Structure 1
């Protein structure tokens, strides 16, 4: 069936309008909403995949763990894994030049591993020895390595390029990596992941039902938390210049 000249013209015009709309739409959605998130289109897609996996696998496991085990047992398990992390805290504090904090971490580990029954009891905190939270990404930041763009990794979630580069060091500096036997090693790793996920359940409940952009919320929370940890709980005050760019209130950069 042939079309008249006027119909062909209208058809071509419609296609042109639709194509133009798609191009403009693509350009609009490709613009990052955060200066440190240039790969936002990819990151959002990967975030959706990770979020779906979390909904189907990880969160249900964490909910079962949280509902089945009594609070004293959950506290003991959390303390156990936290105690193992003190060795990595000590190493990173030493690399950052915080010698006193490093020795405090080692003393925490020794005290909790003995009198605390392999870390199940947090005797060190009761004795007033401060708990630290250090990783190699923070160490690189202290050494002056820039953070780089934000990137959402499969399964591992969002982090900047600096923290991504630090992942192998963090993995091999954790005691559970050296558990003998693959079954035992991965059982420890899986248990630690479930425990950490269960600790985030209150945060899930806090944002449930709220009309928010979950991706942007999680990304911005990551930036704030990393800034807080890198500066040991005392991040520099920032203000915005006339162009809306953040300026470090301490360094003036």
Structure 2
């Protein structure tokens, strides 16, 4: 974990002063590098992650996939608790803590989401948003290997967030397979959105970049314009973009083992 964070910090420092080129713009000064890394990630997703996710989706009943999603979502509420409190959102932080306590105790370690029907909302946060709340600028847009769209600030935040993830402290015999399951399950949850992206975007790189940056500005209250939310299609129906209060989620970021 420390190695992962060190690599992210070193990459951010190096890329902050280089990797410019003829395609670089003021908004995306690292575009030459970013487009190359985006293509690498996209090929990996096309030939490895997407087929595996489709196989997982076809082989696993929906109620089991929901349980897996709930389990990792419950672990994520630990980090949500910490980041909400660091941002001064005491109420949201306490609700996140209540979600962890309720779902862990009565929801079979989070496999069942008891908190949402009980009226306790989820308040998703990360350390990148915490830094933004403290006034740290995002810095240049940055495509991370495997993790996908980010920024200098959010790349550092991604590394710090591992410290808040309980799974990071589990024995490797459990952590590694659970990480793999988390990555595959997350990718399966976004199959509908990625299929729609393939059909809709003339320039996938620009679309993902603009969606990610606008989403992050929106989360920090710097941009009130929403983006469409891509939902998973119902059985036998294609994915559709529907209006929503929250912007389109960025592609999933596989966590490091």
TM score, norm. by length of structure 1: 0.77
2:194 matches 1:198: no
Q: Retained in 2: the 8 A contact 1:38–1:149? A: yes
* 1:171 alignment partner in structure 2: 162
Written as runs of structure 1 = structure 2, the 5 A alignment for 1:107-146 is: 107-146=98-137
- CA distance in 2 between counterparts of 1:197 and 1:167 reads 18
What RMSD over aligned residues (CA atoms) do the two structures have, in Å?
Answer: 1.8
Secondary structure at the counterpart of residue 142 of structure 2: strand
Greater radius of gyration (CA): 1
Cα distance in 1, alignment partners of residues 135 and 199 from structure 2: 40
Residue 184 (structure 2) pairs with residue 186 (structure 1): no
Structure 2 spans left out of the alignment, 5+ residues: 1-20, 227-257
User: Residues of 2 paired with 1:215 and 1:161: CA distance?
Assistant: 18
In structure 2, the residue matched to 1:221 is 211
TM-score, normalised with respect to structure 2: 0.76
For residue 152 of structure 1, give the secondary structure of its aligned residue in structure 2. Answer: strand
Q: Which residue matches 2:199?
A: 209
Alpha-carbon separation, structure 2, partners of 1:89 and 1:145: 19
- Report deviation, 1:227: 2.1
Question: 1:185, 1:42 → 2: CA distance?
Answer: 32
Change (3 A) 1:80 1:32: same
More helix by share: 1
* Aligned partners of 1:112 and 1:118 also within 8 Å: yes
Relative to 1, partners in 2 of residues 1:236 and 1:211: Cα closer, same or farther, differing over 3 Å? closer
Within 5 Å, give how 1:80-95 maps onto structure 2. 80-95=71-86
**1:191 Cα deviation from its structure 2 partner:** 1.1
Partner Cα distance (1:80, 1:211) in 2? 33
User: How many residues were matched structurally?
Assistant: 206
Uncovered stretches (5+) of structure 1, i.e. residues with no partner: 1-28, 239-253
Are the equivalent residues in 2 in contact too, given 1:36–1:148 (CA < 8 A)?
no
